[in-house]
Amino acid sequence: MNINIDNKENCACFCNLFQHLKVFSTNVNIMFSDTHMYIQTMDSSKISIIEINLPASWFQTYEIGANQCIGINTNILFKILNSRETSQNISIQYDLENNDKLFIQFHSENKAVFDKHFEVPLMEIDSELMQIPEYESNADFTMCSANFSNIIGQLKMFGDNLNIECTEENIVLSSSSEESGKMNVNIQIDDLNSFAINDGQELHLSFSLTFLHNICLYHKIAKEIEIQLTDGFPLKAKYVLGADETNNANLTFYLAPRINDDD
């Protein structure tokens, strides 16, 4: 297997993908097929599922041969990618005859920046892909990812849960606690980049602000975040990676709703 990332924006994006992955999962399987690189993992509390999908066209070189699945520690991968200089390209090699290691190299045309070479120990991770059922959302909206991250960070200071009220007129986000009181954020539909909701639909949903805050750690990876809401189903949050939306490179989260004691 031989993979190269020469595009500076894609190199930065690739590093950012693993910068916060360790918050969700210690070890992950990375799957390589002839069409794409794919990661699916679940946090230890089994509240959220994370998917990373990078098509072959996203890489400058993508030579796989047979399908590969490698298990790796996210903390080690973070340390390696965090040592990359901004001018360096990324090369990844894997050999079936030496299948207990992954080889990563950073290279730059700038002679003042030294090349770096890494041997990464691999592991066998016993996990099965979860089949996520397709379902139509009741409402979905797109907004600036930085703005959404700021709002979630502020709401987290007032409570543990995000309560969402979504109608055709507006979206109200709120959190509260006995110690801190209550905070409401009223979002007008015209202030969103996009918005759609079923006719006459009213949604009242609740989600963990801790996990939403972790999802928002990735806000710098894309200018927008797409949120899909469905009554009785997980919240779906999606970052589209890169300017070309047709290549289907994305980072997607599924977050289980909070269940009220009265339900």
**Can you tell me the mean pLDDT for 235-259?**
88
- pLDDT recorded at residue 150: 98
Token pair 């090699």 is at which residue?
A: 93
- Does 127 map to a domain? no
Tokens of 131: 């089949």
Looking at 93, 121, 149, the residue that finishes a domain is 121
Residues 157 and 240 in one domain: yes
Structural domain including 79 reads 2-121
Q: Is residue 131 part of a domain?
A: no
At residue 263, does pLDDT exceed 50? no
- CA 201 to CA 162: how far, in whole Å? 19
Query: Which CATH number does the domain housing residue 88 bear?
Result: 3.10.150.10
pTM for this entry = 0.93
Total residues found in the chain within this entry: 263
74 and 171 housed in the same domain: no
Do 158 and 248 belong together in one domain?
yes
* CA–CA separation, 98 and 95 (whole Å): 5
Q: For residue range 186-195, what is the model confidence (pLDDT) as tens digits?
A: 999 999 999 9
Q: Which residues pair with 39 in a beta bridge?
A: 30, 52
pLDDT score, position 247: 72
Instruction: Supply the pLDDT for residue 245.
Output: 62
Task: Report how many domains make up the chain.
Answer: 2
Report how far apart, in Å, the C-alpha atoms of 42 and of each of 24, 26, 53 are: 7, 10, 15
Band the pLDDT of 128: cuts 50, 70, 90. confident
- Domain shared by 64 and 149, yes or no: no
152/117 same-domain check: no
For residue range 194-238, what is the model confidence (pLDDT) as tens digits?
999 999 999 999 999 999 999 999 999 999 999 999 999 999 999
Binning pLDDT at 50, 70 and 90, where does residue 244 land?
A: low
SS3 65: coil
